[in-house]
C-alpha cells in the first residue's frame, strides 16, 4: 500500500471508513449487509453526552497507532455494560466488567497487524478463553463462537483459534483501562490474524456448531480465516518496513 496524503485519507474516511480505505488499496467491497441479529439492533447503554466515535474525531494520544472504526458509534457506559454468553453452553451468563476482571489475569506484550499493512505493539491485560469456558461450559458440539459488538460489527472464530497462545480478551492496554477509542470495555486480541478478526466493544458471544462469515469477509474481499500472510509490514512504532513470514509477528 503506498503512502496516502492527508487529503486522500480524509476523503476515504468520509466515503465510508475502512471500506473506502480497502477500495483505495485496490479492493472493491460490496454493499454492506445488515446486522445478522434476527431481532434487529439491541439497545446498548451509552455514555450520555459523548459524541459518536469516528475516524475523524478520534484523539491522537497514541501517535504509534491507527484507529479504525467499522462505523461511528457512541461509547458504552462501562458500568451498565454486560457481556452476554449464550448458545450451546451449559451455563449461559451475563458478565459485568468487574466479573471478568475477577478471572485469572493474564498480561502479555504482543503486536497487532492490520490488513492495511501496518502494525503496532502494546502491553495487554485480560483473560483467556479457557477461563471463560470454565464458567459457561460449552457443549462438545460448540466449535465456533459468533461475536456481536456495540457498533454493529460481527465476527466468528473457532474454539481452536480462541484457545491458541496469546489470544486474549483484553480490558487493559499499556497499563491502563482500555479506552473507548481502542474498543472498551472488552476487545479480542488475536496476534496470528489480521486486526479485523479481533472484534472490539464486544457485547455478545454465541456458541455455535458452524462458522459464520464476519463483517469484512462478507462485504469485502477479505479471507474469513484472516491469518497474517507473508509479505511486508510497516510497524508504526519502528518507522521502517520489515519483511514478515506470516502468522504472529514475534521478530520485533
Per-residue model confidence (pLDDT) at position 138 = 98
pLDDT of residue 123: 97
List, in sequence order, every beta strand (DSSP E) within the chain: 83-87, 93-95, 106-113, 118-127, 144-149, 154-158, 168-173, 176-177, 187-189, 202-208, 231-235, 242-244
User: What pLDDT does 179 receive?
Assistant: 94
Long-range contacts of 226-230 (CB under 8 A, 24+ apart): 226/115, 226/190, 226/193, 226/194, 226/196, 226/197, 227/192, 227/193, 227/194, 228/113, 228/192, 228/193, 228/194
Report residue 173: phi and psi, to 5°. Answer: -145, 125
Q: Domains of the chain by range and CATH?
A: 37-244 (3.90.420.10)
Residue 46: per-residue pLDDT: 67
From first to last of its 252 residues, what are the pLDDT tens digits of the chain? 333 333 333 333 333 333 333 322 222 222 232 333 333 345 566 666 666 655 544 444 455 688 877 788 888 899 999 999 999 999 999 999 999 999 999 999 999 999 999 999 999 999 999 999 999 999 999 999 999 999 999 999 999 999 999 999 999 999 999 999 999 999 999 999 999 999 999 999 999 999 999 999 999 889 999 999 999 999 999 989 999 999 999 999
The pLDDT score that the predictor gives to residue 23 is 26
Q: pTM for this structure?
A: 0.80
Amino acid at each position: 500500500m503506498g503512502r496516502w496524503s492527508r487529503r486522500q485519507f480524509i476523503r476515504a474516511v468520509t466515503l465510508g471508513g475502512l471500506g473506502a480505505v480497502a477500495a483505495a488499496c485496490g479492493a472493491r467491497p460490496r454493499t454492506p449487509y445488515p446486522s445478522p441479529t434476527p431481532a434487529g439492533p439491541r439497545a446498548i447503554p451509552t455514555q450520555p453526552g459523548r459524541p459518536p466515535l469516528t475516524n475523524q474525531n478520534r484523539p491522537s494520544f497514541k501517535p504509534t497507532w491507527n484507529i479504525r472504526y467499522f462505523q461511528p458509534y457512541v461509547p458504552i457506559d462501562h458500568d451498565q455494560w454486560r457481556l452476554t454468553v449464550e448458545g450451546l453452553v451449559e451455563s449461559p451468563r451475563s458478565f459485568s466488567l468487574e466479573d471478568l476482571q475477577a478471572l485469572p489475569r493474564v498480561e502479555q506484550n504482543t503486536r497487532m497487524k492490520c490488513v492495511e499493512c501496518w502494525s503496532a505493539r502494546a502491553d495487554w491485560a485480560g483473560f483467556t478463553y479457557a477461563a471463560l469456558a470454565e464458567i459457561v461450559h460449552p457443549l462438545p458440539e460448540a466449535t465456533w463462537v459468533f461475536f456481536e459488538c456495540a457498533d454493529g460489527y460481527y465476527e466468528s472464530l473457532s474454539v481452536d483459534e480462541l484457545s491458541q497462545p496469546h489470544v486474549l480478551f483484553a480490558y487493559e492496554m499499556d497499563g491502563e483501562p482500555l479506552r473507548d477509542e481502542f474498543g472498551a470495555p472488552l476487545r479480542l486480541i488475536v496476534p496470528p490474524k489480521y486486526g479485523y478478526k479481533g472484534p472490539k466493544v464486544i457485547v455478545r458471544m454465541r456458541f455455535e456448531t458452524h462458522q459464520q462469515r464476519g463483517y469484512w469477509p462478507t462485504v469485502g474481499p477479505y479471507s474469513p480465516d484472516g491469518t497474517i500472510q507473508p509479505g511486508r509490514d510497516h510497524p508504526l512504532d519502528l518507522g521502517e518496513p520489515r519483511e514478515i513470514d506470516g502468522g504472529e509477528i514475534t521478530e520485533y
